[in-house]
Amino acid sequence: MVEVSSPPTIESFYKYIAEGKLMGVKCKKCGKVMVPPKPLCENCMAKDLEWIQLKGEGEVISFTIIHVPPTSFASIAPYAVAVVKLDEGPKIPGIVKGVTQPHQLKVGMRVKAIFEQIPSTQAWPQWSRYYFQPI
Ligand SMILES: [Zn+2]
């Protein structure tokens, strides 16, 4: 087995985000791709996983506009949160940059991930994060 470069944890996931990479882990046994990473395959329970870099593109499968956010996101409200089905298969939620009105988004719309880098001295939720933006 080839050792993974970083443990398949949320922390590693965000470390890659800070480098501008959207990474997932792929099961070497059944090919299942998981984002964020899990320590074992949720399909076949294998632990033989490898990191793969995702294109960061996919399509919106559902979305909502948040008007009443948690305090840490108050400054950017209203904002859209969409569940995006990535081209590699996994579905992940994310804030869609620049969208404040429901008519600006459509189910099936193509979006891509963009990254915001924040100095790593900050505590969560001030970590570097990914956003989506319409293509
Ligand atoms: Zn598997």
Q: Is pLDDT larger for residue 111 or for residue 120?
A: 111
Q: Is the same domain home to 45 and 71?
A: no
CA-to-CA distance for 62 and 97, rounded, in angstroms?
A: 15
CA distances from 41 to 27, 55, 76, 88 (A): 6, 21, 35, 15
Q: Which domain holds residue 15?
A: 10-53
pLDDT of residue 2: 44
**How much distance in Å is there from the Cα of 105 to the middle of ligand 1?**
34
Same domain, 39 and 63: no
pLDDT for 1 equals 40
On whether both 125 and 65 belong to a single domain, the answer is: yes
Q: What is the pTM of this model?
A: 0.86
The residue ranking higher by pLDDT, 104 or 125, is 104
114 in the same domain as 48 = no
Q: How many CB atoms lie within 10 A of CB 80?
A: 21
Is residue 120's pLDDT more than 70?
no
**Ligand 1 centre and the CA of 40: distance in Å?**
8
In the chain, what percentage of residues exceed pLDDT 90?
Answer: 72
Q: Residue 20: inside a domain, yes or no?
A: yes
Whether residue 95 sits in one domain with residue 45: no
pLDDT of residue 15: 87
Same domain, 111 and 128: yes
- Condensed to tens digits (0 to 9), the pLDDT of residues 32-88 reads 999 999 999 999 999 999 999 999 999 999 999 999 999 988 888 999 999 999 999
Residue 3 belongs to some domain of the structure: no
Domain match, 37 and 69 both: no
Q: How far is the CA of 29 from the centre of ligand 1 (A)?
A: 5
Q: Which helix (H) or strand (E) covers residue 4, if one does?
A: none
Q: Are 31 and 92 found together in one domain?
A: no
* Helix/strand/coil for 50: strand
Q: How far is CA 116 from CA 1, 18, 101, 131, in A?
A: 34, 8, 22, 8
Beta bridge mates, 23: 53
The residues near 19 (Cβ < 8 Å, ≥ 6 apart) are none
